[in-house]
Chains A and B, each alone.
Chain A
Amino acid sequence: MTRARRIRATAVAGWHSFLRRRTAVFFTFLFPALIVLIFGALVETSGTGGGLFAEPPSWYVAGYLGVVVLFTPLSRLGAEVARTRDGNRFEKLATTPLTRAEWLVAQLLVNVVVIGLAAILVLGLLVALTGAQIALGPATLLVVPFVVLGVALFCGVGAILGSLADSQDGAVAASNTIAIPLLFLSEAFVPLSMLPDWLPTWLSPLTYFSRGVRAVTYDGGSGTALATWNAPDPWVNLAVLAVAAVLFLAIGARTLPVTD
């Protein structure tokens, strides 16, 4: 109970801090919206042509969700860790009952809410602007744990980057350097068929997010191929994502600094 109290206190403080950085709030939601506008509405996806966006719009739902699940926690956690270290807050927290793992879980909760809202925004824009028809079924609810686990995974990675970087700028630059290649090499926007055979996309944890979300939101245009509760694909991907999330959260908590 006291652990829950500590996490709650930290999460509430983190939530208020975030909401009051209006620029951060604005761009947190503007960024994925811009991605949808540029690639979904301006470039336009089409199933009839070739090139990068040759699949039906709904095929890319997993990719757009991947953008918010990947970029936002990476950069937010990286910057938050650097900011917290620079203000000697970790040193202060190290002398309180709050553990580093609890601090990270509190940040994760804030990010789940922020990114959950961003994901809803992205889904709405996709439907409204690109005509994406998201296939719905009971298994579509698995999008929620996919997003939560994806956020957890990249919060862990962001914490590692923030701990290793020597500044907020460095953390954000490092997160972008990692996020952009991952986005294009994890079956989020580029189908596996367009990538070299030798490329080990299975190494990217985002691959399992993309495959899993696509399995429960994209029916291949047939209207019947949507994964069901009993289909193995989403569950296998969810399990891999869960293992990766726990692993990176544990490493992230372990690497959080105590002093500057």
Chain B
Amino acid sequence: MDALVAEDVGRRYGDTVALDGVSLQVAAGDVFALVGPNGAGKTTLVRALTGTTDATGSISVLGEPPRAVDRERLGLLPQDFTPPERLTARELLTFYAGLYDDARDPTALMATVGLDETAADTYYENLSGGQQRRTCVGAALVNDPEVLFLDEPTTGIDPAGRRALWDVLEDLADAGTTIFLTTHDMAEAERLADRVGLLADGDLLAVDTPAALVQEYGGEQVLRVGTDATEVPPLDYEADLVDGTLTVRNVPPTAIGEVVADLETAGVAYDELTWTEPDLEDVYLALAGTDGEAAASGPPVTGTQSSVVAGEGGGNA
């Protein structure tokens, strides 16, 4: 069953198109990560899905229009969220718990999000960035929501804090919470998400599992060899030589030894070997472009549970 369904969702602000016919589905219990450049429309889509902004098209959250869904079943951490700053973390969670009929115990929740007793009784404005984000995530979890929306939940916190929050979110996902998050952090999307959608200029350019996106759009596995060779030696793989670096393309990790043996057979000396494989960041750059402008020239795509239908000229590198 799909917890979220968006069909042909559009939103304009004057002449600016924030969302241009976005369609996607998120299965119950899945983690969906929405990535894209600044101004791509990620926050607008979150707002459309939560019913905090008007949008054209059709949206269903837990089987109902966003504004008709029982608020007890939803959780939201808005982008740039700042709660009352002179309340302690404990008071903030107690406040938000007081808004629900069936809320989690704030003290237990603080432990869940990794806030110790000292942090719990510290004013929000005096908490570290990581502790502040944990408090905000706690505020979004206080009603134990079935669907959780997180708009850039780890922006501005250090790597350790980010990883701690990832652990919290993974536990939630394991417990069956449907999570829809936006992020600029490709590692975050790759680690947490069952499926990733890439939004640029209001268009959803691709939706699929991280592995499928990387395979489809990420480009090649590359072996780079620092060498004194003056010409490309005979190899079983496509290669080129530029400024003393031999680039061998589409080499699987299991074939690195074979390439090295071929180099030695050809009498090519080398002093450095670097193998890289594409990741979501490559997908992002391929589809959204390096300057934030969408590289894809064709129409947006429609994501489904198991596949992605690429638009013509879908930006494949």
Contact = CB atoms under 8 A, between A and B. Distances in A.
Interface of A: 2, 5-6, 8-10, 12-14, 16-17, 20-21, 86-89, 91-98, 258-259
Given A95-B71, A97-B72, A258-B53, 4 more contacts: A12-B98, A91-B76, A94-B50, A97-B101
Contacts of A96: 71, 96, 99-100, 143
B95 A89 contact: no
Contacts of B120: none
Given A95-B52, A259-B53, A20 B100 contact: no
Contacts of B123: 20
A95 B123 CA distance: 24
B83 interface: yes
20 contacts: A9-B97, A13-B84, A16-B91, A17-B84, A17-B86, A20-B123, A87-B80, A88-B78, A88-B80, A88-B81, A91-B81, A92-B76, A94-B52, A95-B52, A95-B74, A95-B75, A96-B96, A97-B71, A97-B100, A259-B47
Nearest to B140: A92
Contacts of B98: 5-6, 8-10, 12
Nearest to A9: B98
Contact of B78 (A5, A8, A92): A92
Contacts of A89: 81-84
A13 B91 contact: yes
Nearest to A90: B52
A16 B91 CA distance: 9
Nearest to A86: B82
Nearest to A20: B86
B239 interface: no
Contacts of B75: 95
B148 to A, nearest CB: 10
B52 A10 contact: no
Contact of B52 (A2, A13, A17, A259): A259
A9 B95 contact: yes
A80 to B, nearest CB: 10
B144 to A, nearest CB: 13
A166 to B, nearest CB: 15
B181 interface: no
Contacts of B47: 91, 259
B87 A13 contact: yes
Contacts of B91: 13, 16
Measured as residues with beta carbon below 8 angstroms from the partner, the interface class of chain B is 35 or more
B51 interface: yes
Contacts of B96: 96
A17 B79 CA distance: 22
B50 A95 contact: yes
Interface string B48-75: 0011110000000000000000011011
B139 interface: yes
B78 A2 contact: no
Contact of A92 (B81, B86, B94): B81
A10 B79 contact: no
A17 B53 contact: no
Contacts of A93: 99
Interface in B86-132: 86-87, 91-92, 94-101, 123
A258 B52 contact: yes
A91 B84 contact: no
A36 to B, nearest CB: 29
A94 B51 contact: yes
A1 B163 CA distance: 40
A86 B99 CA distance: 21
Given A95-B75, A96-B100, A258-B53, A87 B86 contact: no
Contacts of B76: 91-92, 95
B81 A87 contact: yes
Contacts of B140: 92
Interface string B135-160: 00001100100000100000000000
Contacts of A21: 86
A259 B74 CA distance: 17
Contacts of B72: 97
Contacts of B149: 95
A95 B52 CA distance: 8
A94 B84 CA distance: 16
Contact of A87 (B50, B83, B97): B83
Contacts of B100: 96-97
Contacts of A91: 47, 50, 52, 76, 78, 81
Contacts of A13: 84, 87, 91-92, 95
A96 B96 CA distance: 9
A12 to B, nearest CB: 7
Contacts of A97: 71-72, 99-101
